[in-house]
Amino acid sequence: MKRISDRMEEQLNIQLTKEAEAAQVFLAYGSWAETQGFPGIAEFFYGHEEEEREHMKKIMRYINGRGGESKFPSIPAAPANPENLKDCLNKALKHEIENSKAIDEIVNLAHEEKDWATFNFAQWFVKEQIEEETLVQNLIDKYNLASDEKENNENLYELDKDLATAPQEVKIPREE
């Protein structure tokens, strides 16, 4: 029996596609970083791409588990290459912030419909988005520390090496 509304099913399917789109964006940014001689940053984005695919599947399983049906429309093409590393990281952060807003849409609808199961499900994503925004913001902070506005300097080399093994998870203040 279906236990989500048609409207919620549609909203969740929109989010499913957004997660697939995010994976596409980070895959492209990883590939770009690789061609620019930043293998560590490429590795970071490839790892993050997998995270987004996991998010997509998490939503898919939830829709299916509630008796709905997951849909797989086409994914928009990846954006054009960033201008430089700073631009790349800024765009990645922007993408995460937009995704957080999309998650909020699900929370708002769940609240409106008093669909507490989906409300509860969506909370995992609310937390995940806080973490992901923090993660990318930390990278930007690191970049700003490393860079003296010149690309390809020694500090950027160190930053890149550092990111090759950077975790995809980050502690957020409320957990400490």
Which token pair is 112?
């409106």
Q: Where are the alpha helices (DSSP H) in 36-115?
A: 39-65, 85-113
**Residues 137 to 176: which contact Fe ion by CB under 5 A?**
none
- Residue nearer to Fe ion on the CB measure, 153 or 168: 168
- Tell which positions 76-115 bind Fe ion, by CB under 5 A: none
**How many residues does the structure list for the chain?**
176
- The distance of closest approach from Cβ of residue 89 to Fe ion in the complex, given in angstroms and rounded to an integer, is 14
Q: How far is the CB of 26 from Fe ion (least distance, A)?
A: 8
Q: Are 131 and 176 in contact (CB under 8 A)?
A: no
Contacts of 102-111 with CB under 8 Å at 24 or more apart are 102/14, 102/15, 102/18, 103/15, 103/129, 105/11, 105/15, 106/8, 106/11, 106/12, 106/15, 109/7, 109/8, 109/11, 110/8
H/E segment holding residue 7: helix 6-35
The residue (of 100 and 152) whose beta carbon lies closer to Fe ion is 100
Nearer to Fe ion, 10 or 131 (CB): 131
What is the smallest separation between the CB atom of 95 and Fe ion, expressed in angstroms? Answer: 7
Residue ranges in 18-57 that form contacts with Fe ion under rule CB under 5 A: 19, 52, 55
Q: How many residues bind Fe ion (CB under 5 A)?
A: 4
Least Å from the CB of residue 1 to Fe ion: 29
Could you say which of 132, 159, 160, 166 contacts Fe ion (CB under 5 A)?
Answer: 132
Nearer of residues 56 and 156 to Fe ion, judged by Cβ: 56
Could you tell me the smallest distance in angstroms from the CB atom of residue 131 to Fe ion?
9
Query: Rounded to the nearest 10 degrees, how much is the dihedral formed by the CA atoms of 133, 136, 137, 138?
Result: 120
Do residues 49 and 75 make contact, with C-beta atoms less than 8 angstroms apart?
no
Pick the closer one to Fe ion by CB: 49 or 156: 49
Of the candidate spans 13-21, 31-39, 58-66, 104-112, the one that interacts with Fe ion by CB under 5 A turns out to be: 13-21
Q: Which residues bind Fe ion (CB under 5 A)?
A: 19, 52, 55, 132
